[in-house]
Each structure stands twice: as structure tokens, then as C-alpha cells.
Amino acid sequence: MSNISPFARPVYVMLKPVGSVCNLACDYCYYLEKDKLYPDVKNHILTDELLERFIQQYMECQTMQEVLFTWHGGETLMRPISFYRKALALQQKYAKGRRVDNCIQTNGTLLNDEWCRFFKENHFLVGVSIDGPQEFHDEYRRNRQGQPSFYKVMKGIELLKKHGVEYNGMAVVNDYNVDYPLEFYQFFKEIDCHYIQFAPIVERLGFHADGTRLASPEQQDANIKLAPFSVDAGKWGDFLCALFDEWVQKDVGNFFIQIFDATLANWVGVQPGVCSMAKTCGHAGVMEFNGDVYACDHFVFPAYKLGNIRTQTLTEMMYSQKQLQFGADKYEKLPQVCKQCEFLFACNGECPKNRFLHTADGEPGLNYLCKGYKKYFAHVAPFMDFMKKELQAQRPPANIMDHVSMENGHIILKA
């Protein structure tokens, strides 16, 4: 029976309704160049027919009562509202009593009153990409003519707030802003954004015959260079430590920073809310505008294509041996240094996309950010232990704020 799938955990397939088409051209973007995978296709637009096929199959793929749709790009708001209205109607057609939620990721520049009213009415969670204050944001987030986007995004955020739309902030940490964790964080507090994701930029430039420039993770070749906008591994650790010190003194339970939540989840032994910190992954694929399904949004490379929705079901693709192995590899392919690492339970080798280093004894698969994560986990360990005890005693982890102080520039836990 097609509507019974054998695994009792949700499966996600994010959808790219305009492929990688975008009104911006951020220098560091990993997705913008994916149009080169389809050089012969003029319009990278998901048709109504494929939309319906996707929605039907996505519903059938789920074993849970709640179904989450994730709209992604490219720039999602380059499709008209009528497209999303059609999608909502189709969701209801196939929901069969299940609860349906929608989240949408956007660069925020095209938001207007009409979009915001639509999101509010239909309970969308909106992820807005904003890389902190203007100077940081506009360094890389520009359009093809080089025009900056900060003011447009801020206007978009104001509109979301005006209409009471639920939103969160997606910020990337790169070579340019990594030295300013507190300014960065302060910005989000000032705009009253309480849910924030900080994602490190790690990319390598490989250059392929098809015109794409980003190296896929398994590519090893002397010509591959770290992209200049990538974050330095040690600095990523310093960034997280400084951010944590500020947060743990003032903001626990008020501002939610995804990586801190994920770290605490692993400390307590529950599933973290972000795949990179989980032991295995592979439950979050992506479907391109033409129905091609890939293992993960960061693995949209020909070798990681699972098939096409016209000829295979999402259930077949997402539970295929190839995809199950992709997910299991996150743990199985860890080098020994990770398997013996005291922080394995919290780090899990982070995202396989970033594992292109060799260990000191020559084993492949070490995460480029390892140095930073070691710093971070060692730094937060006593505080995580404290919050874990609070949770186990059914007390709020926010109690930690009464037990920390700064002494000589170092954060300490008071007895």
C-alpha cells in the first residue's frame, strides 16, 4: 500500500518552486549555480502538474499526523501568491485529516503587505535571511548589478512584524563577520528577532566542465581551494564561545539560537532540531523544479540524485538503499578521531558536506570546522552540564543565568 511507509520518523523534502532562480546573487550562495545542472531548460518553474504530484506523494510518504512543507529556493517569492494558494488547496485535497504546516525561506526583499497578510492568514513560518547589521549584510548579499539588499530586507521584516507573522532569522557566518559576534547578536536583539540560526559558510571552489564552481564534498584535488568567503575554523569556535557567553548571562529562554538548543538536546540525549548535529541524517531531501530529487539541499550534485518524481515515488526515493546509506554514512564514515572524540555525542562530526580534511594519521573525512567545534564544546561543557541537571529536575534551564558571572573577561559558573 502506497500510503504506508516503513519508518516511524518524519521525512522532509524541501521544494524548489523556481529552482535556483533568484533576484539576488549573494557571492557565497551554494544554490545559485544549480541552474547549470539544467542548461537546456528555459523556464525553471515547477508546473502545476508536478506540484500536485509532489503534494500527493509527500503526504503519502509520511507516517506522522503532522506534515511540514518547506518552500525553498532560489527565491521563493518569485512565484506569485496564486501559486501558493493553489498549493494550499492541494494540501487540503490530499491531507486526509492530517495537520499541515508550511515554512518558507526567503531573502525578504520582495515582501509586501499582500504577502504578509497571506502568510499570517495561512500560518506560515517565514525564515528570513539577514546577515546582521548593514555593513555585514551588504558585503555579500547583493543583486547581479551589485546593489545592496539590506534596506529592502529590513522593510520586509518590519512588514512581517506589523502583520504578526511568525518568522525567524537565518544568518550566515563568513570571513567578513566572524570577528564580530556581539555586534551580530545585538542586531538580532534590537530587531526583536527571538529565533536565530547562525550557519557557518564553508565552501570550496572546484570548477567543473558544466560551469559550476563549488566542489562536491568527496572531490579531492590539488586545484580545489577554500572559497575566500568561508569562515576560518578556529574563528568559528571563538564566535560561538563569545555568543554563548552573552546568551548564557542574559537570554536563555528568551532568545533561541539553534546551535545552542541543539547542543543542549544532545547533552540531554534527545534528538537535536538540526540535522548537522544529529548522529545520522538523510531524512531531508530536496526536489528541484523539474521533479529531480536529491539527497540533501547541500548535495545537489549529479552523484546524489535519487531519481525523478515522474518515474519514482518520493517514498521509493527517500527510503531507497542509496538514501538510507547516505544518512547512515554520517556516522559510519567518521574517522577514528571522531569516533573516539569526547564530544562525539554533541558534535556527531557535524555536516558531511564539511568533511574534506584528513586526520593527522591520514584518514579522510575530518570536518573542516573540527578545531572550532572542539573549542566550543569544551567551553560550553560545564554550562550544558548545569542546564541538563536543571532539565532533569524539571526546572527551567534559564535558571543558569543566576549562576554565571564574568570574571576577568571569563565566564564562570558560581558555586
* Binding positions for ligand SAM, rule: CB under 6 A: 22, 28-31, 72-73, 75, 105-107, 129, 170, 172, 199, 201, 203
Closest separation in Å from C-beta 199 to ligand SAM:
5
Q: Choosing among ligand SF4, ligand SAM, none, which partner's interface includes residue 199 (Cβ < 5 to 8 Å by kind)? A: ligand SAM
Q: Choosing among ligand SAM, ligand SF4, none, which partner's interface includes residue 341 (Cβ < 5 to 8 Å by kind)? A: ligand SF4
- The dihedrals phi and psi of 137, each to the nearest 5 degrees, come to -60, -50
Q: What is the rounded CA–CA span in Å between residue 341 and residue 374?
A: 9
Q: Choosing among ligand SAM, ligand SF4, none, which partner's interface includes residue 391 (Cβ < 5 to 8 Å by kind)? A: none
Nearer to ligand SF4, 169 or 352 (CB): 352
Closest separation in Å from C-beta 22 to ligand SF4:
3
> Which x/- pattern, by CB under 6 A, does the window 332-371 give for ligand SF4?
-----xx--x-xx--x-xxxxx-------------x--x-
Q: Choosing among ligand SF4, ligand SAM, none, which partner's interface includes residue 281 (Cβ < 5 to 8 Å by kind)? A: ligand SF4
Q: Are strands 166-173 and 195-200 parallel, antiparallel or unpaired?
A: parallel
Nearer to ligand SAM, 5 or 258 (CB): 258
Closest separation in Å from C-beta 367 to ligand SF4:
4
Contact 188, 256 (CB under 8 A): no
Nine-digit cell string for 78: 518569485
Q: What is the rounded CA–CA span in Å between residue 293 and residue 275?
A: 18
Residues 6+ apart with CB under 8 A from 180: 132, 136
Residues 6+ apart with CB under 8 A from 415: none
Nearer to ligand SF4, 87 or 130 (CB): 130
For residues 35-94, which are near ligand SF4 according to CB under 6 A?
Answer: 73-75
Q: Are strands 99-106 and 305-308 parallel, antiparallel or unpaired?
A: unpaired
> Which x/- pattern, by CB under 6 A, does the window 302-331 give for ligand SF4?
----------------------------x-
> Which x/- pattern, by CB under 6 A, does the window 3-32 give for ligand SF4?
-------------------x-xxx--x-xx
99 torsion bin: left (phi>0), alpha (psi -120 to 50), beta (else):
beta
Nearer to ligand SF4, 62 or 149 (CB): 149
Closest separation in Å from C-beta 179 to ligand SAM:
18
Task: Determine the length of the chain.
Answer: 415
Q: Choosing among ligand SAM, ligand SF4, none, which partner's interface includes residue 106 (Cβ < 5 to 8 Å by kind)? A: ligand SAM
> Which x/- pattern, by CB under 6 A, does the window 248-287 give for ligand SF4?
---------------------------xx----x--x---
**Residues 123, 125, 130: CA angle, nearest 5 degrees:** 145
- Does 226 bind ligand SF4 (CB under 6 A)? Our answer is no
Bridge partners of residue 294, in order along the sequence:
286, 305
Nearer to ligand SAM, 105 or 367 (CB): 105
Q: In a 10 Å sphere around its CB, with 0-12 CB exposed, 13-18 middle and 19+ buried, how is residue 254 labelled?
A: exposed
Q: Are strands 99-106 and 125-129 parallel, antiparallel or unpaired?
A: parallel
- Does 110 bind ligand SF4 (CB under 6 A)? Our answer is no
Q: What is the rounded CA–CA span in Å between residue 169 and residue 236?
A: 19
Q: Choosing among ligand SF4, ligand SAM, none, which partner's interface includes residue 203 (Cβ < 5 to 8 Å by kind)? A: ligand SAM
Whether 297 is catalytic: yes
Q: Which of 35, 175, 297, 361 is catalytic?
A: 297
Q: Choosing among ligand SAM, ligand SF4, none, which partner's interface includes residue 205 (Cβ < 5 to 8 Å by kind)? A: none
| Positions that interact with ligand SF4 (CB under 6 A) | 22, 24-26, 29, 31-32, 73-75, 107, 129, 275-276, 281, 284, 296, 298-299, 330, 337-338, 341, 343-344, 347, 349-353, 367, 370, 373-374
Q: Which residues are catalytic?
A: 297
